[in-house]
Amino acid sequence: MPRLHEQGFSVSLASGATATFFVVSGLAGLVISRLIVRYDIRLTMIGGALLGALSLLALAYTNQVWQVYVVHIVFGVGFACTNMVPGATLITRWFERGRARALSYAATGLSLGGILLTPLCATMITGHGLARTMPWIAALYLVGIIPAALILKPDPSDMGLGPDGDPPHARVAGKAMARPGTAFHDAIRSRFFHMTAASYALIMLAQVGAIAHQFNLVLTRTTADDAATAIIFIASASMAGRLLGGWIASHFSLRTFTILLMIGQGSSQFILAGGDDTVWLFAGCIIFGLTIGNILMLMPLLYAQAFGLRDYSRIYSLGNMFAAIGMGAGPLAMGLVHDWLGGYGGSYAFAGVVSVVSAGLFSAAGAIPKPHE
């Protein structure tokens, strides 16, 4: 973003490039899901780290519109190689009873990174400029991913273990039996997959759109300091919510929990739509933060519980692609509604309606099915 402003690029270009990143990362996940089944998942993560670092370096030298989009496309591919699809697949392989808690701990890193790294990067860019800062950010990207990829094991069977450290699954003629679960083509034809994918496309549209405009919403109604504080509240509540949500998801119905969270996100957006003082705005931000991290965390859990491990990475990557399309469309949709209705009250009310509709769609998916044996 800073480079876009330095070069005089428009806000619409910035929004378009960000949307391109989300869509590309979702589409790339479909290919990556096949690669991590056939090859060592660590190779994909290391390759993605290298691509991501290369694109971050290149961002400092973009001065044409097409270059901006190329950088975001490359970064989208690199990001997909290192983020949700491989990460959720690893955790799903390693944990069964403790899967919800493991995912909540891993996903907490998303919020922690936002709290710690975003201000650091912004300060470095402001103080030293993009060209001098991006090599350090690229290096940080590599250091954060490659060492972890080198030491992790792609599957518990590599250490003679089963999920959760249990004894390994039975073997036939020296080979591990296929993981139980529903075949990919059967899963994607199911009503549960259709309705879940549709609901997540909408809930992520409302969620990412609201996050993208959050600072400006508070800024237009209070002060810049309050707007910055609101972002910290969202990130902090998201961290706390994920840790608590991991325990809740381990002990209660995933379906009921997901519906309540979607309704909760919508309620927070209605509060933000009508909030005209600091107390109401901060309250809406906290409720919003408590819901958003858990909603994203529950998606891989839902697909794992419904369809098992057999073709998990392919099933999840397809569902994640629809969610990524919603993420990419969210900021643009919120901006268009803002301009149409003349303010953030209408756009956040729109997001609240979309969130409630997504809860209805997910409810219509019915009970979570059991994986085929």
CA–CA separation, 122 and 219 (whole Å): 18
CA–CA separation, 206 and 309 (whole Å): 30
On whether the 2-159+180-364 domain is CATH 3.40.50.300, my answer is no
Which residues does residue 171 pair with via DSSP β-bridges, in sequence order?
176
Task: Please report, for residues 69, 81, 93, 152, 294, the alpha-carbon distance to residue 310 in angstroms, rounded to integers and kept in the order given.
Answer: 36, 20, 10, 21, 25
The helix or strand, by DSSP H or E, that contains position 175, with its residue range, turns out to be strand 175-176
CA–CA separation, 28 and 47 (whole Å): 13
**Per-residue pLDDT tens listing for the chain (373 residues):** 444 445 555 555 666 777 888 889 989 988 998 888 888 889 999 999 999 999 999 988 887 878 888 999 999 999 999 887 888 888 888 888 778 778 777 777 666 666 667 667 767 777 777 778 888 889 988 998 899 888 888 888 778 888 877 777 554 444 444 567 899 999 999 999 999 999 999 999 999 999 988 888 998 899 888 888 888 888 889 888 888 888 898 888 999 999 999 999 999 999 999 988 899 999 999 999 999 878 988 998 999 999 988 888 899 999 999 998 999 899 889 888 988 998 899 999 999 999 999 999 999 999 999 987 6
C-alpha atoms less than 13 angstroms from C-alpha of 111 in its C-beta half-sphere? 26
How far is Cα of residue 349 from the mean position of the Cα atoms in its chain? 23
Rounded to two decimals, the pTM is 0.80
